[in-house]
Amino acid sequence: MEREQIVFVGTSDLSGHFRGKSFPAADLSARLRRGVGLAPTNIFLSAFGNIQMTTFGTSGEVFLIPDASTRVFVPFDGSATEYFYLGDIVTLDGAPWDFCPRQVLRRALHRLEQDTGLRLLATFEQEFTYSGVAAHPPQPYELDGYRRQGLFGEALLAAMRQAGVIPDSFLCEYAPRQFEVTTAPAIGLRAADDAVITRELAQAVAFRFGHRVSLAPIPEPNGTGNGTHIHWSFRDRSDQPVLYDAQRQWQLSQLGNQFIAGIAHHMPALCALTAPSLASYYRLRPNRWAPTRADVAPLDRGAALRICPVTGDDPLQRARQFNIEYRVADATASPYLTLAILVQAGLDGVRHQRQIEPTAAPALPDSLGAALECLEASEAAVEWLGADLLAAYLQFKRAEIQGLDNLSETEICRRYAEVY
Ligand code: GLU
Ligand code: MG
């Protein structure tokens, strides 16, 4: 008997999980037009899988439509092919649904283009824990640490390339069992799509090896975190970079200064979306190479916004390399919401001509609850997300906090590591 091929379409939802539905590959052309039906509440399933109270309850219907340009088709010997698409959620009339994470990012990118004529160029650097190596002894950055993960890294890079995601690096990181994978920068929506595909393929490859990767923010409260660092810059209408200005402080153009100042200004509220789990805040503590303040600094891996190095003498090459790294994100966040909110906050900085204030770098919120309060108090966030999505998100995340009530930090880390 021959097996029948099945395709999955999903999105990185409010919990940051990649969720959706699957169908026979034979029906693909019809599904590319019609999509698969979802309850609106589908995108509000909790981080841990349970159905939480949402504004929609059990009613309503929306459609998740595969985006043909995102096709992932990666055969694995002796097991099912990884075959999936990323999708957009539309209403019954076929209009973009306001709560669709990919749509939230599209809106932000559209605004960026309208206000400034710029396109975002970004990439996600993703750290994770791989169960296929021993935790002891720790082997930070050692060749032997890299060696002991065996064939996992090579298989992952091959799978990414096959899926149209260009690998940039794979390395043995600082913490026990920790590795990192980075992709080449991509324009706009594709940058977030690449992050989602990379996470899934890391899981897919680990699964074929009888192992698991965990992208949870931190495996135990006193450990070192798994960050998702986002490198970003822009290209103008003639494909030229715009952040670099050799004459100015930190080689940062005026636009770059304003954009960063906007992100720094709104950072406490942004945390609720980019570091959106209880465990996210155990990572954002001193001496973990993770940020603790809403600060900006050149070449500093402890800063929330790091101005990255450039090399060589050619001014054009320097300008093209120049980028900023946002370090306050982790994999419990949807890459779509993360990029959307960064762009919106940066644009707010441009609109209000904000300037980086190196001496005024407030501490980041120390818990998800505190971050949600900042988000709720932000008037700008209402405009960025829409009042309905913002209210739903606050309710969604507060239910997550309540669900983990009375658990120790160690137990909370364990719960997140099981599902991310
Ligand atoms: N693992 C650190 C973090 O949680 C970052 C280490 C690095 O700079 O690569 O963000
Ligand atoms: Mg790293």
CA of 253 to the centre of ligand 2 (A): 27
Q: Supply the pTM of this predicted model.
A: 0.97
Residues 33 and 91 in one domain: yes
Residues 172 and 74 in one domain: no
Tokens of 229: 């660092």
Domain total of the chain: 2
Confirm if 234 and 241 have CB atoms less than 8 A apart: yes
pLDDT tens-digit series, residues 158-167: 999 999 999 9
Residue 54 pLDDT greater than 90, yes or no: no
Range of the domain at 18: 6-96
> Is 1 contained in some domain?
no
Domain boundary residue among 96, 128, 150?
A: 96
How high is the pLDDT of residue 235? Answer: 98
Whether 283 lines ligand 1, by a CB cut-off of 6 Å, is yes
Q: How far apart are the first and last CA of the chain?
A: 36
Residues 344 and 384 in one domain: yes
Task: Say what percent of the chain tops pLDDT 90.
Answer: 93
pLDDT tens-digit series, residues 224-255: 999 999 999 999 999 999 999 999 999 999 99
Residues 201 and 349 in one domain: yes
CATH code of the domain in which 287 resides = 3.30.590.10
Whether 224 lines ligand 1, by a CB cut-off of 6 Å, is yes
Whether 325 lines ligand 1, by a CB cut-off of 6 Å, is no
CA angle 199, 385, 415 (to 5 degrees): 40
Q: Which helix (H) or strand (E) holds 196?
A: helix 189-208
Nearest CA to ligand 1 atom 7: 289
Residue labelled with tokens 């954002």: 284
Q: Distance between alpha carbon 135 and the CA centroid of its chain, in Å?
A: 26
pLDDT tens-digit series, residues 397-409: 999 999 999 999 9
Domain boundary residue among 96, 112, 143?
A: 96
Residues 63 and 111 in one domain: no
Q: In angstroms, rounded to a whole number, what is the distance separating the alpha carbons of residues 257 and 408?
A: 41
Residues 146 and 219 in one domain: yes
Residues 210 and 340 in one domain: yes
Residues 404 and 273 in one domain: yes
If DSSP codes are grouped into helix, strand and coil, which group holds residue 219? coil
Beta-bridged to residue 228, according to DSSP, are: 126, 329
Tokens of 165: 């995601």
Residues 85 and 199 in one domain: no
Residues 141 and 80 in one domain: no
CA angle 100, 33, 4 (to 5 degrees): 105
Q: In angstroms, rounded to a whole number, what is the distance separating the alpha carbons of residues 31 and 48?
A: 29
Domain boundary residue among 96, 112, 137?
A: 96
Integer-rounded Cα Rg, in Å, for the chain is 21
If DSSP codes are grouped into helix, strand and coil, which group holds residue 140? coil
Nearest partner of 333 among 14, 11, 76, 8, judged by Cα: 14
Residues with CB under 5 A from ligand 2 (ion): 180
